[in-house]
Structures are given as structure tokens and as C-alpha cells.
Structure 1
């Protein structure tokens, strides 16, 4: 290492905003937003950890802005006036970021009245005068004015050092002239006015020709007549002011002497305390690698590996059978391999373009299979013949002694099934992450790589391009394809090495091994199977809905007395609350009246019968028809696969926080169940000739689970007797059973399980809030087990931060202690229902995982499971198999919780059949 002192000055403000935008919103174990804190901590650690490296710092300080005001505001009161306030969830992170800096035992410097840039400039000049080297950690253009021999900048996002040549390339002038360019062009972000009409190219041309701002202004009168000449003359004073505003102040008194910025290693205790306080588990696991820090004490939990950084240039492109055989042999001998597929499109029936494998960090490869030249004149790239490669890979991917690891492996299973490959056994890092951290962050590969590996994956668009210039992956060159595809496999393997050891100590093994992983193959088979849709019936419904929508628009415009855009919340709100004078309208932050479904239902439930109420009802009808038409009767026609002539939805195991499956592209889970229009759409889902559709639906499963989990004797005994549970509740609450009291009882039974408030129940039942509260109190008096369950659930989630299902599925609620009332109450409502809804989801997944084997064992190989919609499974089967299939399906669903869980109530299953889904439902 050089003996010359090397001062690193970190632009802390720039770091903060980069960290904030680098990661998605994250929360710590107390529900506080910490995405920027986590990102800032990892970025700072990289620098601090470079102490003993050849080009690392000997001295380091983090410089922050003390406040939004500086001496520049005295010079120009509009300076930074247009800059928007910091994001709401970033503001509380500022103090934590200062804590993070101090946790590294690093100086954290800020001065009232000066911007961070001025403090950086002053420290830089002082260090240069003393013969030190200086590196400014930032990519801010204002700081580029300081670059000179002995002083460079480090852009950590690009891992690129910036010298004079960078400034010349970017702005057309050397660093010492950059201030003049910035003064002429101004800065819209900081509201530096500059000269109108002058951008960076014109500014650099003028500075290169005349020398500086004053010289440009002096030459302006002699320039040939033009708008540029006029603007320079008219705005000369603003140009001079702007030049002063962009100049960095280099004589700010140094708050700490240079010598006090010396790095002396990172003491472990304060850093560990900070990381433990926020629950930054992956960073805690790195403590053993901190310079000059003793190793952490042994932990009862598994020690997670510390892998080298991803080196995308180390990956191999496999283009010969000998090389492929070498990789297959290594994977077989090792007993596990991470893999990923690249395809020509998205969806369960996409075409296979290539496969990547990873055996260890940075030991990964890509096997191109269907790449073509980039244009008609290009030769096809060298690659193994498709069929030969598949023949070699099939034994490996089906080998029961080799674990196949994927991220969202269901997609890869679907793609490879088209080529006769049944991938097994499997692990899925996306599902592992969900089982460990549901509710804390997303579970996509890019986000997990940033969160757990401190790695930014190559973006797909950076490889394929975007817009009209976008290429298919099969058109990408092999070198670029290898870097991108093999990185996916490498990252998947690294994530598996970190997530798998956490399952047992964090009690997630049960839900992963007994619920989510087993259902993956069944879901893949369902996605490939798809369901037949009657295109002609959909087209007929679309035309019918279009006519009804037009009629509703005429009626709504007639009531309003003027035409307007019904789909515009702004225009609708003005009609209802200003033109028609309805009371109770509320405006949001944007100044627009709320016209969401709750608001329209509130208006529609009013009693005075005025035209505004009639309009609200018709707008609700218009919205429903418009949504059904656009989302289903129109869109489903376009979703019909031209080869299979069926619709193939994709199921997400991580799309709903409680563990429920989500359906996408198209979403088949939001078709209205109870409305006539929803039933008619279901009629368009049909069986093939000679077959029927069978619908098997759990009957009131969440109420049954509530009876068990909340230990409610009345409900439990009623289910054991086979009573109508809503009749029983009506009798308990109202003393009589009729259509009205049963309807109210049904609403109450489900609403209270969802943690509804007195106001919410009042709106549902169209009664006063006091009457609703009295009804809730009476319900709890009759069923105290429900009240106790709610109390215990909320107490536990406030203490631990998460709820659990009967199978151990955790759902984290980061807002459960939020100081914002509506956030806290929303989290409480969700937490009340999560154990019940999550257990319901776990049970139907177990049924789905067991169903194919049970049908196969019964010889019913022509019975195919097609859809899962919340508590319902839809099958297609030959008409002659119905009688044999019904008891098998009913038994599998009714006993799905066993033997892991023995419920104290039976699980009822209702089965229907018909030529269409509507007829079977």
C-alpha cells in the first residue's frame, strides 16, 4: 500500500437517494421503513471494507446536508424552490442513516448554512494542499468541478472512476471550465436559472470559444442577431448569478481536522448493535469479514456462506457435446445443480432458447439451443443441436439423486415439459423467500439479489433492448446471452445457499416441505393444461355488454344534465358533489373528490332517492360492465392459445401475502361469483366434446377453521351436526331466522373474521355505527371464542411482527405499530384474518398436491385438474368418469389437513358438474 494519505469524501446525500431508489420499500422488525438505510449501509460497508486494499482510503468522512437552506438562498430566494419534498417514507430514515454512519465509527459531518458539496470542496482543497490524494464518492456533476491531478471521483453504482477525460466527454470542457458551462445552462433540479434556450452543447461551445461566462456576456452584443444573442443580453445578470450559485465554496472552516478522519478499522460492537436493532440478518452474517474485527460468537442458527462477488465474465458458453457432458457429470457427482431456462416469450407454453446451470458461485454456464443470427446476413451461432442437447439433459433433470434448484421453478418445469422432461426433485428459492419473509419485501430474483447478496443483476432490457428495437432472446449474441442467463443460475444457487439453512431455525420447514413445494408440479401441470373457452360466446357477451354500457352512459348523462367522461374520477366527483350538491364528498391530496367503490356504495345507500343516488347506482353498474367487458369478454378472446385453443393462466405462489394463490395473464380468480353477469362469463368456460367440468368447492371453510382455531363450541357443534351456520348465527343474534336476519348474520359472520370496524359494518348493513357496535358486542357475547381469538392474534402480532397459520406459514405485518392510524388499522384487520385465510390456502394446496396421485392410483388418468379459484377446484373429465371421480376428489379435499393437522370440525366439499363452468358451479 502507498504511504501517501488517501482521503475518501462520501457524498452522503447522494448515497442516501441512490440507496432509496436502488431497493424496493423495506421495513425492519419494528415496522419502520428502512430500505434506504439498508442500501446506504451496504454501500458504505463496501467502502469501509476497502481499507486494506491497494486503492482504499486511509481517511474517510461522510458529508451530509444539515438542512435544505444555505447561503445560496440568501443570494437567490428561488434556489431549490421547486425541488419536491423528500418522499414520506424516506424522511424518518435520515436519523437512522446518521446512526448507520456512526455504527461504522466513521465521521459524519454536516454544517448549518452550507451544502454538503461546499464541505466536500473545502476538505478536498485542504487535503490537496497537504499533498494527500482525494477521492470524492459521488457522480454529482457539480462536484466534477473539483477534479484535477490528485483528485478523482468514484461512481460506486457503475464502479467507475471519473477523471478530467470524463468531464470533457460529458460536457465538452475540462473540469476548471465546468462551472461556466453550468452557469450558462442552469439547473432545473436546483432551480438555477441560467440563460433560457442554452443547453449543455451550446454552453460548452460558447465557453470553448470565449473562455468563461463574463467573456461570453461581453461578446454577446457583437454576435450576429439571433435568439441566443438576445437571451444573453437580456439575462446577463441571471447568468452571473447562476455562475455564483454553481460555484463551490472552498473555504468552509473544517469542523473536524483532517487527521481526525483517519480510519482505524471498524469496531464490531456498535456495528453489531445497529444491525441487530434493525434486524439486518444478511449484514450480520458478514461481520466475520470486517477488517480488524474479531469473529462473531457462534450462533445456534446455521452460518450462511460468504460468496465471492458475481463475475459474469467467468461463465462458460457450452457449445459442444463434450463440454455439456462435462457439466452434466459434475452436476451428477455433486448431487445438486441450479438451473434456469431462457425462452422466446413469457407464459407456460413458451419456446425454449437455452438452459443455464450453476454448480458453485461463479461456476456457471449457458447452453444455447435455439439462437439465430441477428439479421438475415448473419450466420447462426455455434451451438449444440437442440435434440442432442435435450437427450443429454433429460437424465440429469429427471435424476432422483440430483436436486434441481430454480427461482420460480414452476415456469421452467412448464417449459421443459413440452420437451418430455419431468423435472424432479426440486427446490425453489422464490418460494423459500416467501415462506421466510412474506410481507417484508418482494421475492423476485433482482430484489433478493440486492437484499441478500448486495448484487445488481443484469437487466433483461439491457440485453434485449426496449421498444421497437427490442430483440427476442433467441436473437441475442451468445456472449451477452451467457452473461445474462448464467448469472440467473449463479444467483439462484447463491440464494439457495443462504435461504435453505434458514428454513429450520426460523420454523419455515413445515410450510415449505408440506405445503408450497409439493404443489409446484401440480400447478405446472394445470398451467400447461389450460381450459377451453367458447370464443363465439365471449364475442356475443362483449357485444351485449357494449350495448348495455352505451345505454347506461346515456342514462347517466341524462341524470347529470350534461355529457362527461364517466371514467374520470375528477369529472364524476365534480358532477356529484358540485353540480348535483351531494353532501359528504371528500377530496384527496390531489384535490380530486373520491369516487371509489366505497364512496359510490355509500351514496347509493342513501335514503332520500335523489338523482345523485340514482346516478351512483348506475355508475356502479357501468363500472362493473366495463370491467367485465375489458378484463374478460374482450381480453379472454386474445388469450386463447392458437395451438391448444385453450386459455392458460399462470399461478403465483407469492402473489398474495397470506399464501393464497394468485392467477395472472389472465386472472381467472376475480370473475364475480354471485352476479348474473359473472355466471354468464363462467358459462363461456366449457368442456371438450364428450367431457364435463367438475367444480369442487370447500363449503364455508374459513368459518369452519375459525370454529377450530378460535375454539368456538357453538360453531363447532353446529358444523358437526351439519346445521346451516348462518341460520344458527341469526337465531343467536336476532332470536329469529328469516331472509333478512340470515342475510345479516352471513354478513356479520364473515365481516368480523376480517376484522371489520363498527363503521365498516354499519356501511355493510346500512345501520348506524352505534347499532353496528352493539351488534359486534352481542356477537362477541354469544361467541366469546372469536373475541379471544382476535385479542390473542393482535397481541401476538404486535409482539412478534407476524402471524402464523396452523402449518406455520408466517405473514409479517410491518405496519402493525405504525403511527399512521389507517395504516395500523389496515394491518390489524389483515392480521386478524391472515391465520384463517392462510390456513385455508394451505389446505387447498395440500389437496392439489395430493390430487394427481390419488386420481392416478384410482385409474382415473383422464381426470385433469384445470383451475384453482380460492376455495374451489375445477376439473375436466370424461362423462363416464364422474361417478368414480367424485368420491376421490371429495376425500382428498376433506382430508387434506391430515395427518399433520387434525381439525375439530369436518371440511365440507360441494361438488357439481356440467358442460360449462357456470353450469357446474
Structure 2
């Protein structure tokens, strides 16, 4: 049937359905092979409900589910920061995305997507076509970006609330009609999509302005008339940014579709195809229900083996009983119960997330799943508003009395304490004179088994493995300016939240701990994860001294240098322009200077991302200067300015927080502040390290594994030439250059060695010809030639890469030499993500083995340096930093080097020696 008057088109926002299904339902895996299918199950149920609910006189005549294809669209060409701050897709959702497409096709519903365009653009084009052809269109989505399309026969339906969004609904949301939605969005911006907008102007102000001036263009042209000085300056100063924002939010109603609206006619499902898909997914209930509706025979889905006999029987969380412990007698009963069982799940509630300054508010305990308690200790009366008080709320034990009762049990070697992210609780207890030990950590138990599959926070683990969404903390504390601290939460509300945390932690431990052995990672957990916790806690407590004056001087110096670079850039450009404006920069590079490779989006704005500028830097001086300017700008804002805010008022030191589970490979990550990412290759990055200093009479000592990942590569890939060079103590980059370029070692130039170094390190990370060309600023063909020659000279590397990828495909994970498993769920993916997954699989065993080596060294370090007057302060990938009295430097270096160089023994015997280089100085820059 040709689409026209009387026809009704339904356009379903596929991504909205998928994310709704993923977040609304507990995680589910296919029993036969463990494939995540929770989102697919929810998606199929939603499609079935949609089909069931759309009959009768208003039923659609045409329907399609519209998906996003990839993340790069013409808007990224227009503005390289578009959607740049979006969180990465959850690892367990990624493999489900193609299955939702298959599900749509199985239901015999049209399924459409287009490279380079967002689903919203396809929906816009189809909605406009439907309107022009005299039909109706219902967009099944609540996405505010689609509201610009409403009117003239086009409406939206929020399927979750069963609420129609018409012209009045849009006016209620934006304060303007659909025809002016993009004007309001251009001013207000969008933090989710990273649309900049006008700083300081929100939706309400934007609507007032647009209603007053009629349109965005009129407003910007008459901005001088605005009375409020700040608002006036914002509109004048950020005009280009606002105009760009409008182009970003304006949907493309002329997307070049590869299909017609007539192709979307409603079709009956084919029972055989639909049921075959549901059987493949192992959806028993849904396949029975749909078979009944279709009048077909319900398919038989073979049962998989029953769960392991030792899987614990647990009461449902909704049936749990949680007790508030208000006096010593009640607490003693719990302590007696803990001694009967020999273990307890423990959790602390505090006034904040910074363990160095947060105060203890209460403690939760759980011994049996479904029965937990909360011991309130420092809740205050009333809220923290004008009528609040600092008086202690009634019905609580004195804090010290509770700690005196709990301390012997918490420190007793015969009682296992179970926690989720135990490093936090251990640091809190330490401040109150309690040394928590021994312990198990459910976060680390999950990480040892599931690195690469999902994150390991309690909420994620609870939803995935227990099918339960914990009470959200925001429901107690609120958000934004009205947010309170936990000590202001009424005790009756705090108890179910806090006790549930301990209950969930115990349940996760009962479920996941036995699987360590089944999955062959007990040794990893026991030797690499758990023993690292007290080591890191102590390092974080030590902190490192940071000189505020040095940072302040650097900030000023960076500002001056940026100004100097701007002057040079303007001179090279032949005119002044805003160096921080991608649009203006693009016009200079590609219109004025006519450099090659300019890619424009539909609006004519050029892409000026890092990749583009690195490519252009081989052709012209200006792009390189812009890259330098951007780096300085980032260093200034991220480090020299921000670091000053992290200096602890009491200690004068910065106390970073390390995450053991922050990277899939076993590398540590650090936050508040992040000290792992301070650049070392640039002079300015090195200068930031000058601000990290030793106390009077001490020096900082740095010990750093020399080229550890190349040494591991030589070992695992069996590269004899590299092994020999490492054993003989040769300059490995010079040796590689000699092999690669047929240059004798005594004739080696710094430039040739630099190229070899870039190739050596690049190959570990699976670098492409494109990447190497950017690093060396040479033509791509020449760079690819270097890589090809490298593999010819060292064929074992190619063999290692091929075998590693095959292992990952066969097993779903790769492994370090110490047994750490890094799961690779994407390894069989097709399309742009496939290359990344393969590079990650190649690199993970090398980077992971290096991470394991330094972990082993750190775990042994406290015993090794116990009798020395030094403190271990920081770990940055392959480097450890200590603070040492000047007269103990040599002895410290000797002891630490011994531990680090022999850290792999006795588990792994490397074919090449591990070499540790040492340095010392008044600050980190001098020591490194």
C-alpha cells in the first residue's frame, strides 16, 4: 500500500527501547554459553507488548524500528567534542546490540539504520515525508531532541508512561512551540550530548529570550539591546558557539534514505522465524506465550545442567529483616553471633567519599543472608538547613563504646571480615584506631573472575548476580545544592539502606567466592589482589607533599607560554582568531591556508580533532603549535590549577586514591587527583613533577622498571635478537634501529633511534601505519613500511599476535604469565570495533604481566623496608616513588631494587633480566 492520506506511520526509537530494557531488568545470561541476553529479553518483551497493543482503528499501517549505526556522524565532523563525554557502553550490553536488530527482523518489523547519521535524523526525514504525503506519524520515544518534529500530524508517544506528547506537551517542556525548540536548545546546550550552548543560560532563560525576540537569529543580531550585562556579554562573546550548537541540535530532515516509506508497511510475523530466534536465545516463557498467540506449537528448549550443588540457598531480599542496634546489649548479641559463624559482612556509613576527612556515622553487619543490622553512631537531629542542629540524635550508642566492643572482633584473626571495596572501610577504621584484618573483598573477587566483562561496583554486581537493585543513595541524600550528608539522614531511613549493603555484600561473597576456584583464579585473587589492599591504603595515607607556590608559578608560566603560542599561531595564520574555537581554526587551516584533507560536515564546519591536526603537522607548522597550545591548556586546567584544590589542609599533602579494578589488565588507576596521566614526554609535563617535593631533610627516590613491556614481549614471543640484546645490556632501541635500517650501531643517529623507539613501543599496542605516521610526523606509506619491515626482522612477534587473537576467539579471554584472566567479549565483533578488540587482546597479556610484576613487588615491599626509615608514596605504572631521609638513600635503593628485579620469582622465570633504574632528588622531576 502506497503511503498517503489515512495512513499512520509508527517510528520506534530503537536505542531508547534497548537502554530501557537493559536498565530496567536484572542481568540475564544464556545458560548454554553465558552470553549476556538481559537487554535482548527486555527488548523482545517490549516489541511483543507493542505488537499486542496496536490493533483497532488507530493501528499503524507502516512501522519501523530505527537504530543508531556507530557513534561517528556528520555532527562529529562539525564539532569533534560532540557526545565526547558520553560514558562508554556497558561491556555486557555491547554484544547484545546486534541481537536486538536480529530480534526486530524476527518480529518481521522493518529495521533501519544509516552510517554517518543518527537515528533521530532518519526519524526526522521519515516524519516529514509522512506529513508531506498527508498521513500521520507517531514517534515512539520520549527523547527531547525529537520534539522539534511535533505538529502537523506528527506526535510523540512516551511508551513507558503511555503519554502522548503533542504541541502543548512540547510547550510545557520547553516553554516554546516545536518550531523554536532548536533555538532554546542552542542556547541552553546539552551536557549529555556535549552541546556547548551559551554558558550560564538554562532552558527557562532561553525560552524567555526566544519568546521575547522571536528567533535565535534575531536575538543574536540584537544582543547589544539586552539589559543584563552578563547575559549580553555571553551572547555576543559566544555567538559562534551558539550558532554551532543550533546546527548540532537541528535534525537533518533530508537524510539520503536508502529505502522508501512504502517499504515500511506493517507485516505479520513469520511464526517459524520468530520462534526459531526465541529458541536460539533460550527464552522459554516468551516463546511459549508468543507460540500461543500465533497458534503455533510451543518449541522445546533443552534444559542446561542444574546449578552447582554448592550454590547457596538465600531468602529473597524483599523478605529480609533489618535491625537497628541502639545499645551495648543488642550489639553484644551480634558479636556473639559473629563468633558462632566465624565471618561477618561489614560496611561503614560516613559523611563523604574522601576517607582522609570523612567521619564515621554508622556500621552495618550481616552474618546470615536476609538478616542484617545497622549501628547508628553519629546521626544528628534535624536537617542541615537553618533549623537543623548539631545535637546527636537519640537512640544511638556512644561511638567510642561501640568501637571498644567491636575492635577485638574486627581485629581478631579467627573472624573473616567481608566487604565491598574494603580499602575504603579499612582506612576509615584505621582513623578510629581499628586495624581491620583478615578480610575478603567482593569487588576484588569479581574483578579476578570478570575483568573485561563489566564493572565491579556493588550496585552492578547486585543487579547482575542477585537480580536486585539496591536502594539508591540519592533517595536518602538528595542531589545538587539540597544534598545532605549521611549523618543528617533519619536513623529509621538509614537502617534499611545501610543494612541492605551488608546483606548484599554477604550474598555476593557466598555466590562468587566458590567460583574463584572453579574459574582457576584463586591464586590471582590471593597473591595479586587481596594483599595489595593494605599496601595501597598505607600509601594513600602517606600522601605526597605538593608545593602550592610552585604550582601557582607554573600556572602563570603556562598562561604566558600559551599567550606566546597564540601570538605565533596568529602570525602563521596571518590574522588573529580564537585558537580554542574549532570552527575558526578549521577556517584558517582549510579555507585560508588551503591545507589538504579538510573534512566538512553538512554545515561547512571543519573537523579539527587531534588526529586531524597530527596529520596536518607533517605539512605545516601551525597545526603543531595548536597541539602544543591545547596540551598546555589541559596541563594548566587539569594539573597546575586543579592540584592546588587537592592539597589536604591538615597534612599539606595530596592523597590520591588508587583503584585496583580501574583497568581490565591489572594496571592501577588513580583519582582525586589522577597522578597516573601526568605527561612525561613533554617538557611542561615533566615540570609539573617539580611541584611534588620531599619534606625538609628528605629526598624523593624513584625506581622504574626499564622497558619492562618490551622485555616481556621478547620473552613471550621468543625473539632471540631482543633477548640477546637485553641480556647483553645493549641499547634496545639502537639495536632495533640497526636491525631495521641496516645502520651499524657506531653510526646510529638520534633520529633513527627515535624512529625505532616509536616502532618498538607502537607494536606492543598494535599501532597502525596511521598511528605511527602521526607519532613520527612522517607519511603513512613510509610508516607502514617501517612496521612491515619490523615484522620481517622479528617474525616471532607476528606469530605471537596471531596466536593470542586465536586464543581469545577460542576461549573468550587472554591471560598474563601469572594467570590473570582478561575477558575479551568483543573479540568476535565485526566492523570498526573489531580492530580495537584485537589490539586490546594482543596488548593485555603484556601490559597485564608488567602490572602483575609491580604488584608483586609492592606487596613484598612493606616487609622489605620495615627496618628502613623510608615510605612508599606513589605507583605510576612501572615506577615506585619513595620518600627517604638523605642518609638512607643508597640502602633504600639497594633493598627496593632487589625486591623489584626479583618480583616475578618463583612464579615466572623470565628469559631476560628485569632491570630497575633509580634516581633521587628534592622533587619528583629530579628523581625520575
Using the size of structure 2 for normalisation, the TM-score is 0.72
2:382 counterpart of 1:380 = no
Aligned match of 1:405 in 408, 418, 421? 418
**Contact 2:372/2:499 (CA < 8 Å) preserved in 1?**
yes
In structure 2, the partner of 1:816 is: 827
In structure 2, the partner of 1:556 is: 569
1:197-596 matches, cutoff 5 A: 274=282, 297=305, 303-311=310-318, 314-349=321-356, 350-375=358-383, 376=387, 380-381=392-393, 382-560=395-573, 563-587=576-600, 593-596=606-609
Post-superposition Cα deviations, 1:449-471, rounded to whole Å, max 9, x if no partner, equal 11111111111111101112111
**Contact 2:816/2:846 (CA < 8 Å) preserved in 1?**
yes
**Contact 1:755/1:829 (CA < 8 Å) preserved in 2?**
yes
How far is the alpha carbon of 1:782 from its aligned partner? 2.3
For the structure 1 residues 74 and 746, does the alpha-carbon distance in structure 2 shift closer, same or farther, using more than 3 Å as the test? closer
For the structure 1 residues 555 and 729, does the alpha-carbon distance in structure 2 shift closer, same or farther, using more than 3 Å as the test? closer
How far is the alpha carbon of 1:15 from its aligned partner? 7.5
Post-superposition Cα deviations, 1:765-814, rounded to whole Å, max 9, x if no partner, equal 44444443433333223222212111111111122222110111122222
2:105 counterpart of 1:93 = no
2:779 counterpart of 1:794 = no
For the structure 1 residues 546 and 748, does the alpha-carbon distance in structure 2 shift closer, same or farther, using more than 3 Å as the test? same
Q: 2: distance between equivalents of 1:21 and 1:582?
A: 46
Secondary structure of the corresponding residue to residue 359 of structure 1 = strand
For the structure 1 residues 439 and 645, does the alpha-carbon distance in structure 2 shift closer, same or farther, using more than 3 Å as the test? same
In structure 2, the partner of 1:881 is: 888
Q: 1: distance between equivalents of 2:720 and 2:283?
A: 46
For structure 1, list consecutive stretches of 5 or more residues without a partner in the other structure.
Answer: 1-10, 45-60, 103-107, 113-139, 143-181, 203-226, 228-252, 261-266, 277-291, 607-612
In structure 2, the partner of 1:37 is: 40
Post-superposition Cα deviations, 1:496-537, rounded to whole Å, max 9, x if no partner, equal 112111111112212111111111110111111100001111
Aligned match of 1:843 in 823, 830, 853? 853
Aligned match of 2:637 in 630, 633, 642? 630
In structure 1, the partner of 2:119 is: none
**Contact 1:429/1:496 (CA < 8 Å) preserved in 2?**
yes
In structure 1, the partner of 2:660 is: 653
Secondary structure of the corresponding residue to residue 749 of structure 1 = helix
How far is the alpha carbon of 1:366 from its aligned partner? 1.2
How far is the alpha carbon of 1:73 from its aligned partner? 8.9
How far is the alpha carbon of 1:39 from its aligned partner? 5.4
2:684 counterpart of 1:677 = yes
How far is the alpha carbon of 1:552 from its aligned partner? 2.6
Secondary structure of the corresponding residue to residue 92 of structure 1 = helix
Q: 2: distance between equivalents of 1:199 and 1:496?
A: 48
For the structure 1 residues 310 and 573, does the alpha-carbon distance in structure 2 shift closer, same or farther, using more than 3 Å as the test? farther
For the structure 1 residues 348 and 111, does the alpha-carbon distance in structure 2 shift closer, same or farther, using more than 3 Å as the test? closer
For the structure 1 residues 27 and 823, does the alpha-carbon distance in structure 2 shift closer, same or farther, using more than 3 Å as the test? farther
How far is the alpha carbon of 1:392 from its aligned partner? 1.5
**Contact 1:336/1:405 (CA < 8 Å) preserved in 2?**
yes
**Contact 1:432/1:499 (CA < 8 Å) preserved in 2?**
yes
Secondary structure of the corresponding residue to residue 545 of structure 2 = strand
Q: 2: distance between equivalents of 1:581 and 1:30?
A: 55
**Contact 1:302/1:501 (CA < 8 Å) preserved in 2?**
no
For the structure 1 residues 18 and 654, does the alpha-carbon distance in structure 2 shift closer, same or farther, using more than 3 Å as the test? same
For the structure 1 residues 324 and 570, does the alpha-carbon distance in structure 2 shift closer, same or farther, using more than 3 Å as the test? farther
For the structure 1 residues 620 and 15, does the alpha-carbon distance in structure 2 shift closer, same or farther, using more than 3 Å as the test? closer
Q: 1: distance between equivalents of 2:609 and 2:268?
A: 54
Q: 2: distance between equivalents of 1:26 and 1:528?
A: 40
Q: 1: distance between equivalents of 2:268 and 2:742?
A: 77
For the structure 1 residues 555 and 776, does the alpha-carbon distance in structure 2 shift closer, same or farther, using more than 3 Å as the test? closer
Q: 1: distance between equivalents of 2:53 and 2:826?
A: 28
In structure 1, the partner of 2:702 is: 695
For structure 2, list consecutive stretches of 5 or more residues without a partner in the other structure.
Answer: 1-11, 71-93, 112-137, 141-150, 176-210, 212-265, 285-299
**Contact 2:282/2:301 (CA < 8 Å) preserved in 1?**
no
In structure 1, the partner of 2:145 is: none
How far is the alpha carbon of 1:187 from its aligned partner? 4.9
In structure 1, the partner of 2:21 is: 19
**Contact 1:364/1:486 (CA < 8 Å) preserved in 2?**
yes
Secondary structure of the corresponding residue to residue 317 of structure 2 = coil
How far is the alpha carbon of 1:141 from its aligned partner? 15
**Contact 2:854/2:900 (CA < 8 Å) preserved in 1?**
yes
How far is the alpha carbon of 1:400 from its aligned partner? 1.1
**Contact 2:13/2:66 (CA < 8 Å) preserved in 1?**
no
Q: 1: distance between equivalents of 2:25 and 2:698?
A: 50
Q: How many residues align?
A: 732
How far is the alpha carbon of 1:186 from its aligned partner? 7.0
* Structure whose alpha-carbon radius of gyration is higher: 1
For the structure 1 residues 35 and 647, does the alpha-carbon distance in structure 2 shift closer, same or farther, using more than 3 Å as the test? farther
2:833 counterpart of 1:833 = no
**Contact 2:853/2:904 (CA < 8 Å) preserved in 1?**
yes
**Contact 1:184/1:195 (CA < 8 Å) preserved in 2?**
no
**Contact 1:339/1:405 (CA < 8 Å) preserved in 2?**
yes
Q: 2: distance between equivalents of 1:539 and 1:757?
A: 40
Aligned match of 2:756 in 719, 736, 745? 745
Q: 2: distance between equivalents of 1:110 and 1:775?
A: 50
After the TM superposition, which of the residue ranges 725-734 and 837-846 deviates more from structure 2? 725-734
After the TM superposition, which of the residue ranges 301-310 and 642-651 deviates more from structure 2? 301-310
Post-superposition Cα deviations, 1:736-760, rounded to whole Å, max 9, x if no partner, equal 2312221121111111111122333
Q: 1: distance between equivalents of 2:69 and 2:329?
A: 55
How far is the alpha carbon of 1:726 from its aligned partner? 1.3
In structure 2, the partner of 1:762 is: 773
Post-superposition Cα deviations, 1:57-98, rounded to whole Å, max 9, x if no partner, equal xxxx943449999985989x9xx99x9756866763336658
Q: 1: distance between equivalents of 2:302 and 2:780?
A: 61
**Contact 1:758/1:773 (CA < 8 Å) preserved in 2?**
yes
**Contact 2:769/2:780 (CA < 8 Å) preserved in 1?**
yes
**Contact 2:108/2:267 (CA < 8 Å) preserved in 1?**
no
Q: 2: distance between equivalents of 1:449 and 1:812?
A: 20
CA RMSD of aligned residues (A): 4.1
For the structure 1 residues 703 and 307, does the alpha-carbon distance in structure 2 shift closer, same or farther, using more than 3 Å as the test? same
**Contact 1:604/1:617 (CA < 8 Å) preserved in 2?**
yes
Secondary structure of the corresponding residue to residue 550 of structure 2 = helix
In structure 1, the partner of 2:255 is: none
Using the size of structure 1 for normalisation, the TM-score is 0.72
Q: 1: distance between equivalents of 2:781 and 2:631?
A: 32
How far is the alpha carbon of 1:668 from its aligned partner? 0.6
For the structure 1 residues 591 and 329, does the alpha-carbon distance in structure 2 shift closer, same or farther, using more than 3 Å as the test? farther
**Contact 1:27/1:33 (CA < 8 Å) preserved in 2?**
yes
How far is the alpha carbon of 1:347 from its aligned partner? 1.9
Secondary structure of the corresponding residue to residue 315 of structure 1 = strand
Secondary structure of the corresponding residue to residue 737 of structure 2 = helix
**Contact 2:27/2:467 (CA < 8 Å) preserved in 1?**
no
How far is the alpha carbon of 1:874 from its aligned partner? 0.3
Secondary structure of the corresponding residue to residue 63 of structure 1 = helix
For the structure 1 residues 185 and 901, does the alpha-carbon distance in structure 2 shift closer, same or farther, using more than 3 Å as the test? closer
